[in-house]
Amino acid sequence: MSTTVILYGTESGNSELVAEDLAADLGGDRDVRVYDMSDFDVADFDTDDFYLVVCSTHGDGELPGGAKPLLEALNSEQPDLSGIRYAVFGLGNSTYETYSQGSEIIDRRFTELGAERVGVYGRHDACDGSLPNDGAVEWARELLVLV
């Protein structure tokens, strides 16, 4: 059985909470591992695994601090991510022009390095009053049926 690897990038902890809820919900049926993007080594990407990326947006559409080390490693090491399949759930606030841009930065880099995004791009809009965890769990359940 392949492993579902949840990578989260956060500034204030929201993406971490979403990642933990996803792991709790999915863990009964799957082997699930959760990593802060700042602790994940790009050499550990494995084509047998499926990756769920949960990433917030910080400031004026920048990556959250927790996601920057992974992006820096991807940029400097330029690993071949061919064969890597992943999905993205972005957090942000649509009142900002740069809504969900943090996750889009990671998504773009994964694709540039050869990874394949599958399924619907998940997003949570902080201005709608809903909890990101609920939307993310529903999104992941629907997505992982297809994977």
Looking up residue 59, the CATH number of its domain turns out to be: 3.40.50.360
pLDDT for 96 equals 87
Q: Is the pLDDT of residue 126 over 80?
A: yes
Work out how many domains the chain is built from and give that number. 1
pLDDT for 1 equals 57
Residue range(s) defining the domain that contains residue 26 = 3-145
* pLDDT digit string, tens, across residues 41-97: 999 999 999 999 999 998 888 899 999 999 999 999 999 999 999 999 999 888 888
- Contact, 62 vs 102, CB < 8 A? yes
- Contact, 144 vs 25, CB < 8 A? no
Mean pLDDT of 15-30: 92
Closest CA to 64 of 77, 50, 54: 54
pLDDT for 144 equals 87
DSSP code of 140? H
Q: What mean pLDDT, rounded, does the chain reach?
A: 93
* pLDDT digit string, tens, across residues 92-119: 888 888 888 999 999 999 999 999 999 9
